[in-house]
């Protein structure tokens, strides 16, 4: 069921996994289930974006991606969210500012794969993201070294929790981030599209 900015109990620990999900796949599912446990989260929202400003191609229609996400990710603690569409935001920093303003008593954690950390410094107002909410980084195959050497990792090295402290992240005060290595499903949306299993046209 699509999450239209619901009422949330104060103090709830909510992880936000953003992306175009074009298409959603088992790698997203694996990251989500691991993050629920490793970062001690009460819920995770799949934040399906209308479009990614850093990508040159337009994603499939929102309704199609939401339906596919609902089919592949069925878990009582995971919501499929169109929050960015509801809020009218385009960039992650804007979305987080709007959510933390709307839900001041909710503890949000931003979740992303290690591939995103490698170029996180290219995101609009990326340091505002780091300063606003804790960030959980989940290693994908082949992305560990580039992520650990990234500008974001170097600048915020002193705010990094060890992997063994990952369950403390959702209650930490930003800036705080944690990098965890997991056995991952080596699958990507771009690979699925290139194989012709997710045609770009609806």
Q: What is the pTM (predicted TM-score) of this model?
A: 0.85
d(CA 165, CA 135) in angstroms, rounded, equals 13
| Nearest in space to 42 (alpha carbons), one of 95, 109, 97, 90 | 109
Tokens found for residue 97: 């500012």
What is the pLDDT at residue 105? 95
What is the pLDDT at residue 157? 97
What is the pLDDT at residue 115? 87
What is the pLDDT at residue 1? 40
d(CA 88, CA 51) in angstroms, rounded, equals 12
Distance of alpha carbon 40 from its chain centroid, rounded? 15
31 close to 113: Cβ distance less than 8 angstroms: yes
Tokens found for residue 199: 């045609």
What is the pLDDT at residue 2? 47
d(CA 129, CA 112) in angstroms, rounded, equals 12
23 close to 73: Cβ distance less than 8 angstroms: no
Helix or strand run (H / E) with residue 125: none
Name residue 56's beta-bridge partners. none
Where do the domains of the chain lie, and which CATH numbers do they carry? Answer: 12-190 (3.40.50.620)
pLDDT by 10s per residue, the chain, length 202: 444 677 888 999 999 999 989 889 988 998 999 999 999 999 999 999 886 555 555 667 888 999 999 999 999 999 999 999 899 998 999 999 999 999 999 999 999 988 899 999 999 999 999 999 999 999 866 667 888 899 999 999 999 999 999 999 999 999 999 999 887 555 554 554 454 554 554 4
What is the pLDDT at residue 50? 84
Helix or strand run (H / E) with residue 36: helix 26-38
């Amino acid at each position: 069921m699509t999450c239209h900015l619901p009422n949330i109990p104060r103090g709830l620990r909510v992880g936000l996994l953003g992306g175009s999900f074009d298409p959603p796949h088992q790698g997203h599912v694996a990251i989500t289930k691991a993050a629920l446990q490793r970062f001690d989260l009460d819920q995770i929202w799949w934040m399906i974006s209308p479009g990614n400003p850093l990508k040159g191609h337009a994603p499939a229609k929102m309704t199609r991606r939401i339906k596919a996400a609902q089919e592949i990710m069925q878990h009582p603690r995971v919501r499929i969210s169109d929050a960015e569409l509801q809020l009218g935001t385009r960039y992650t920093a804007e979305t987080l500012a709007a959510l933390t303003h709307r839900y001041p008593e909710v503890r949000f954690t931003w979740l992303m794969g290690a591939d995103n950390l490698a170029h996180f410094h290219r995101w609009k107002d990326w340091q505002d993201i780091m300063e606003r909410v804790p960030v959980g980084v989940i290693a994908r195959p082949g992305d560990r070294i580039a992520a650990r050497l990234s500008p974001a990792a170097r600048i915020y090295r002193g705010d990094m929790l060890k992997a063994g402290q990952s369950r403390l992240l959702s209650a930490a005060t930003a800036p705080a981030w944690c990098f965890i290595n997991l056995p991952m499903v080596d699958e990507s949306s771009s690979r699925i599209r290139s194989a012709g299993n997710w045609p770009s046209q609806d």
